[in-house]
Chains A and B, each alone.
Chain A
């Protein structure tokens, strides 16, 4: 009798065969002790790996879900003409900040005098530049600034507690939400973290990132 291949035996052990295939395997195994032993091995490993189901059963950590949900709640669309100069960008940044602060839904921005009618739709958060470069340049400034803030300022209650802080050269830092993380630093300490947005001239839209407070109370931009 032809030896049953491993994959068929594994599929039998995993209940991935249809009725007809199952019967064929059972028939073939009747006189095949070696095949039955291999089937047993697949059952053993199947049971061993099934413990990973616990990962899907446990709730997703709050900070991961908050990160996504918060972004979703604050997401909105702006339409504006393709801009070249930083002056135009500043006007956009100003309107963006006001729009967000007022909690308005979607809004439009039209800049006069660019000589271009081409409009593009840019989602807040969709940057044309690599966020990491922008963030890296501001990293130390942001980290120093966060360390100076009183602790109340960085403990926000949900997405409504947006705080805006001006940075050098017309950049704006917006604190979106805060959370306690037990994964950012592996020293067994819980750390305060904030989700923040950086708006800067040259950026079509803000960059979203996470910063966390270390045990010595200084802050660290942890995502890039």
Chain B
């Protein structure tokens, strides 16, 4: 027989919902490192949420939610990338292209400084993009290490390499 929580539910799923709501801002930030536009990032987060909500049995309440959600996000992106390779298109519902959504433009993408740095970061490998974007969001090395489930030292070496590559891109941009 299942143990019963104070709510009378065998499984405290309200907790999962609460944790997921809390995780949404950082999940959106991380998702942006995987895809070209902010609208794509939100699409990916929505898919990850549906996956998590449809399979709450896969969630281990003893572990932090965010690293697990990030793994799901990465796998979804990889599946889409594979589908893209097969079909020659982005794995979205229909006419998804890399044309920026004008409605998103009016929100986050109206931030020109963010947009211009984001354009440069797109040119770097995913391993470097993810540490750059998380660090850019204001996270400490230790927090990034926890989310990506890698040692703090690895975060620092990736981030340092990424920053050197980024500096070169910024310089190239300014010269041309």
Given A55-B108, A72-B17, check contact A50 B138 (CB 8 Å).
Answer: yes
Within 8 A of B (CB), among A39-75: 41-42, 44-46, 48-56, 58, 60-61, 63-65, 67-69, 71-72, 75
User: Complex formed: what's the CA distance from A65 to B47 in Å?
Assistant: 13
Report yes or no: A52 in contact with B56, Cβ–Cβ below 8 A.
Answer: no
The secondary-structure label for the interface of chain A is: mixed
Interface residues on B, range: 35 or more
Report yes or no: A7 in contact with B157, Cβ–Cβ below 8 A.
Answer: yes
Report yes or no: B141 in contact with A56, Cβ–Cβ below 8 A.
Answer: no
Report yes or no: A207 in contact with B156, Cβ–Cβ below 8 A.
Answer: no
Chain B residue nearest to A220 in the complex (CB): B93
Identify A183's interface contact among B9, B53, B101, B166, CB under 8 A.
B101
User: Complex formed: what's the CA distance from A163 to B84 in Å?
Assistant: 36
Given A44-B167, A105-B8, A127-B55, check contact A49 B24 (CB 8 Å).
Answer: no
Report yes or no: A121 in contact with B157, Cβ–Cβ below 8 A.
Answer: no
Report yes or no: A52 in contact with B93, Cβ–Cβ below 8 A.
Answer: no
Task: Return chain A residues, CB-CB under 8 Å to B141.
Answer: 11, 14, 16
Task: Return chain A residues, CB-CB under 8 Å to B57.
Answer: 123, 126
Task: Return chain B residues, CB-CB under 8 Å to A60.
Answer: 24-25, 28
User: Complex formed: what's the CA distance from A10 to B140 in Å?
Assistant: 12
Chain B window 151-173, contacts with chain A (Cβ cutoff 8 Å), 1 for yes, 0 for no:
00000110110011011001000
A157 to nearest B CB, angstroms?
A: 20
**Most chain-B Cβ atoms within 10 A of its Cβ — which of A16, A42, A52, A67?**
A52
Residues of B that sit less than 8 Å from A by CB: 1-2, 8-11, 13-14, 16-18, 20-21, 24-26, 28-29, 32, 38-39, 42-43, 45-47, 49-50, 53-57, 92-97, 99, 101-104, 107-108, 111, 113-114, 117-118, 121, 132-133, 135-138, 140-141, 156-157, 159-160, 163-164, 166-167, 170
A sample of 26 inter-chain contacts (CB < 8 A) reads A41-B163, A41-B164, A48-B166, A49-B117, A49-B166, A51-B111, A51-B113, A51-B114, A52-B32, A54-B111, A56-B25, A60-B24, A63-B46, A64-B45, A68-B24, A72-B17, A72-B21, A75-B14, A106-B8, A126-B54, A131-B55, A182-B104, A186-B96, A209-B50, A220-B93, A222-B93
